[in-house]
Amino acid sequence: SQTIHQWPATLVQPVGSPLSLECTVEGTSNPNLYWYRQAAGRGLQLLFYSVGIGQISSEVPQNLSASRPQDRQFILSSKKLLLSDSGFYLCAWSVGHSTDTQYFGPGTRLTVL
């Protein structure tokens, strides 16, 4: 069966510091991968998605970037964090095209101080 991992689970970082969040999927090949952000009490905002290695599409211009160095690995990064980057970050995967369903990882809670 497929599983998705995210780490770290919780992170507290100072403003201006770098960021690296990692997401990996097991048990499937060539998944579509997604990064979402959820502010407190709000819905999900799609940040990035990837349909293959090295292929990244950005939905919202911001202080963040994403990379996909391996088929089942998706990384969210920032060179300098802003206070507004605080939130809950969720990674999701899906397989296939029109009939796929997105399944989510456990999330990372990021606090920027």
Tell me phi and psi for residue 83, to 5 degrees.
-55, -40
* Token pair for 22: 């990692």
DSSP state of 51: E
Q: Residue 100, interface with other proteins (CB under 8 A)?
A: yes
Q: Single out the residue of 76, 107, 110, 112 in contact with other proteins (rule: CB under 8 A).
A: 107
Binding mask 48-87 for other proteins (x = CB under 8 A): -x-x-----x-x----------------------------
Q: Single out the residue of 19, 92, 110, 112 in contact with other proteins (rule: CB under 8 A).
A: 92
- Looking at residues 9 to 38 of the shown chain, list those that interact with other proteins (rule: CB under 8 A): 32, 34, 38
Whole-number Å distance between alpha carbons of 29 and 14: 36
Instruction: Give the nearest distance from C-beta 113 to other proteins in angstroms.
Output: 20
Please return the burial class of 77, using the count of CB atoms within 10 Å of its CB with bins 0-12, 13-18 and 19+: middle
